[in-house]
Amino acid sequence: MSSTSNNLPALPQADISIRTSIAWHPDPPSEPTSTLVLTSPGKHFVDIRLLLPIDPSGILTPDRLDWAFAGTSTTNPLPVSLPILTPQPQPQPDTTPRLVASKWSHWVDTRHPDAEIVVDTAQMRIYPDGRSVEVGSMVNPATGVLTPYEEIWQEGEVDPDEGGMVLQTDDQQGGRRRRGMVVRVGRHIQGILRVGEGVGVQRWERSGEHEDGGWEVVAGTGAAAEEEVGDLVGAMEFVARGGGEKVHAGEMILGPERAWRVVEVWGRGG
């Protein structure tokens, strides 16, 4: 029995999402942050939201971090239309959006030590041009009140020749829970590590053309936080190097404790 590529199911792909605005009903949309979400083919994600402007030195202080969290996501198709809080162009026949229900299961979260208690669901209208409209309700941090919101997202470019990797750590350190995740999608890496109340956050980008160099720390927590969560940088460096030529999912890596697990690796491993 023969088959063509047109008959094969689409393989899961990595994704980059950039938020362009948020509107808390009834206020108009704005974008006070640089919000970037990296999602692996297996739907592991790291979502980091930095208040603007970002310090050009790359130093991230607690007052400039809006929110960061990581976990897994799921989507399911919806047959119904979604409410829209702000006017949107009427779709043409070739721009009809897909409607999906999305859920983000938080596993580590800078706002919540018990990340799993966070209920994070929304409905989304996904357009062919890479734009998405997300609607739902969550607590507005400015008011502390559960409020309808609408976010506009734009799909970022994922180089098909680039690979990626997911690392995860989950253990005890000095009697405190230690959880972290690092996701690389092509030229972008983001990571979060929480040890008790201590939190480390890193966002790196590669601007150079060469595989082994050109990484820039866009934002990273300073020395005080790194005393507790310092090996987040080591995990970021491992992923930036592609983890070596023979790294495989399931391996325990980094240091004598081997505290980080390779959860996913695809393409060239980054």
Q: Phi and psi (nearest 5°) for 58? A: 85, 0
Q: Check residue 153 and give its pLDDT.
A: 98
CB neighbour list of residue 93: distance below 8 Å, 6 or more residues apart: none
* Domains identified in the chain, total number: 2
Q: Is residue 3 part of a domain?
A: no
Q: What is the pLDDT of residues 85-123, one digit of tens each?
A: 555 555 555 678 899 999 999 999 999 999 999 889 999
26 and 145 together in one domain:
yes
In the structure encoding, which two tokens stand for residue 206, read together?
């590669």
Residue 26: which domain range? 12-155
Q: Is residue 7 part of a domain?
A: no
Rounded to an integer, what is the distance from CA 258 to the centroid of its chain? Answer: 24
Q: Is residue 20 part of a domain?
A: yes
Q: What is the pLDDT of residues 160-211, one digit of tens each?
A: 778 899 999 998 877 888 999 999 999 999 999 998 888 999 999 997 655 5
Q: Please identify which residue in the block is written with the tokens 């799993």.
A: 116
Cα–Cα nearest to 121, from 131, 109, 106, 110:
106
Report field, pTM of the whole predicted structure over 0.95: no
CB 182 within 8 A of CB 201: no
Handedness of CA 219, 207, 52, 140 (dihedral sign): negative
253 and 184 together in one domain:
yes
> Which of 134, 155, 176 delimits the end of a domain?
155
21 and 148 together in one domain:
yes
Q: Check residue 212 and give its pLDDT.
A: 56
138 and 170 together in one domain:
no
Distance CA 132, CA 234 (A): 34
CATH code where residue 107 lies: 2.40.128.320
Q: Check residue 172 and give its pLDDT.
A: 83
The pLDDT of 124-150, averaged and rounded, is 94
Sheet of strand 260-266: strand arrangement: 59-60, 215-221, 198-206, 188-195, 176-185, 164-173, 260-266, 252-253
Q: Check residue 22 and give its pLDDT.
A: 98
Q: What is the pLDDT of residues 218-261, one digit of tens each?
A: 999 866 556 666 789 999 999 998 876 678 999 999 876 788 99
**Confidence band, pLDDT 50/70/90 cuts, at residue 3:** very low
